[in-house]
Structure 1
Amino acid sequence: MKLSNLRFADDIALIASTEEELQQMVSELDEASRRSGLRMNKEKTKILATEEALIILNGEEIEQVVAFIYLGQEVRLRRDHYKEITRRIQSGWNVFRRYKDFLTSRSVLMRWKRRLFEQCVLPAMLYGSETWSLTKSARKRLATAQRRMERRMVGVRLIDRKSNEWLRGVTKVKDIDEAARRRKWNFAWKMANGSPEKWSSRLEEWRPPVKRPLFKNKTGKLQN
């Protein structure tokens, strides 16, 4: 069984093994769309491939990119969690600024600020975190961004010399590092207890059919 496409509403990702196969899939999708009175948006249609590929849509070449956004998450051949986490932090700030007047108001009780923060800001920052590689550096970046937001919620600055413990004692918001880990644990539990026939389980267990060539590590030993 082969996964050939991902579909959510009108957001479609086609997956092919060869350039010829992808060209055929694009042409068939375009034809099926036209029969339904729809059309493919060339400006939003992109190609991500391991090598150069020439795919034509309505007589025009489709742009090839090194990454694209699908359902709010960046997809690239060489996964770069640094860039994805940067995007999520920015998304969190976008939500925070949207509700800035409420979150930074001195007349709003902290419990209401906390509720809004945990229901709107944190989810924006942690979207897709189940698939992240949470390194020490990544956790630090997330925690730093959260503390900056908390200081604005309380109305203090760095020069006020308030400790992180004091700050958390005032806001009592969920710790973003702990929230991210809990999401990963919940995801792992669902995978372990889900049906092995589901695509999510199949993809989690999938391994490339080829082995990487041997190379020498820092100790001089050969490894894959």
Structure 2
Amino acid sequence: MCKFNGVRSDDRDVTLAGQVVPKKDTFRYLELMLQSDGEIDEYVSHRIRAGWIKWQQASGILYDRKVSQKLKGKFHRMTIRPAILYGAECWATKKQHIQKISVAEMRMLQ
């Protein structure tokens, strides 16, 4: 939504240096994914992807048979889980978001 010359309008095109800036449904600000509808679905998916990236980086330790299960669990809790839940204290979560994170975590633990 733009407010130019005291007129509020959703349908006006925003231009920058003579070029029209395309409208987006999502906007990334710092680490947060903002959606036009106010939901956090994209951000939850983004955090799950970040957890999978950490999982891939740590696969050498997690797949090593010489490392105990207890140590692997501790490693998961200390590195991968925080990557997924980064910024979660600010989320307005729904059951579907919690389920999505739980499913991803269970798949990682298998």
TM-score (norm 2): 0.76
RMSD of aligned C-alpha atoms? 2.6
Over 3 Å counting, the alpha-carbon distance change for 1:82 and 1:17 in structure 2 is: closer
1:85 corresponds in structure 2 to 44
Mapped partners of 1:87, 1:74: distance in 2: 8
Q: Which structure has the greater CA radius of gyration?
A: 1
Number of residue pairs matched by the alignment: 108
Do the aligned partners of 2:27 and 2:34 also contact (CA within 8 Å) in 1?
A: yes
Whether 1:54 and 2:39 are equivalent positions in the alignment is: no
Mapped partners of 1:111, 1:51: distance in 2: 57
Task: Show structure 1 runs of 5+ residues with no match.
Answer: 1-15, 22-48, 152-224
Larger strand proportion of the pair: 2
Cα distance, 1:51 vs. partner? Answer: 3.9
1:109 corresponds in structure 2 to 68
Over 3 Å counting, the alpha-carbon distance change for 1:85 and 1:105 in structure 2 is: same
Cα distance, 1:78 vs. partner? Answer: 1.0
Over 3 Å counting, the alpha-carbon distance change for 1:92 and 1:19 in structure 2 is: farther
Aligned residue type for 1:56:
L
Cα distance, 1:146 vs. partner? Answer: 1.0
Task: Show structure 2 runs of 5+ residues with no match.
Answer: none
Percent identity (aligned): 21
Whether 1:143 and 2:102 are equivalent positions in the alignment is: yes
Mapped partners of 1:19, 1:117: distance in 2: 50
Of 82, 89, 92, the residue aligned with 1:133 is 92
Matches within 5 A, 1:94-105: 94-105=53-64
Of 117, 122, 126, the residue aligned with 2:81 is 122
Cα distance, 1:77 vs. partner? Answer: 2.3
Mapped partners of 1:115, 1:50: distance in 2: 50
Over 3 Å counting, the alpha-carbon distance change for 1:61 and 1:142 in structure 2 is: same
Mapped partners of 2:44, 2:10: distance in 1: 24
Structure of higher RCO (CA pairs closer than 8 Å, 6+ residues apart): 2
User: Where in structure 1 do 4 or more consecutive aligned residues deviate above 4 Å?
Assistant: none
